[in-house]
Amino acid sequence: MIDKINLKEEVNSINQLFEYKEICKLNNHTFNVLKAENRTLEFHKHDLSDELFYCIEGEFDIEFEDGKTHLCEGDLIVISKGVLHRPVCTTLVKCLLIELDGTLNSDNTGGTYKK
C-alpha cells in the first residue's frame, strides 16, 4: 500500500523556523517543506534546476531583478533555472519546495539546510 502525504501535517510537524523537511522524492526531484518568518535570502540562481515554490499557508514574495511576485496560500510559482531570485518572508509562511536532488545547499538557504 502506498501512503498519502498531507502537506499541512508535514509542515506543522516542523519544530523550528528554517528547518527543511524532506517529505518525498519523485524521479530525481526532492520535495521539502519548511516554515520561515522575518527572513530575506540573498539573490541566487540555480544553474541546473528549475525550482517550484508552493505556498501552503501564509504569504511571501519572490523578488527578481526586475520586480517581485506575491504568493498567498494555494499559489505556486516555477522559477526557471538560471533566474536570479530571492524569497522574502516578513510573516510566518509555510511552503513546499520542489527541485532536483542536490539543488538545495547551505549557500542558497542562508546556511540552514542540512543534508
E strands within the chain?
21-26, 29-36, 39-40, 51-57, 59-64, 67-72, 76-79, 85-89, 93-100
Identify residue 44 by its one-letter amino acid code.
H
% of residues, the chain, pLDDT over 70: 90
- Give the tens place of pLDDT for each residue, 36-77: 999 998 999 999 999 999 999 999 999 999 999 999 999 999
CATH number of 7-100: 2.60.120.10
Supply the pLDDT for residue 103: 75
Supply the pLDDT for residue 115: 53
Rounded Cα gap, residues 61 and 79, in angstroms: 13
Q: Where are the domains of the chain?
A: 7-100
Higher pLDDT, 21 or 110: 21
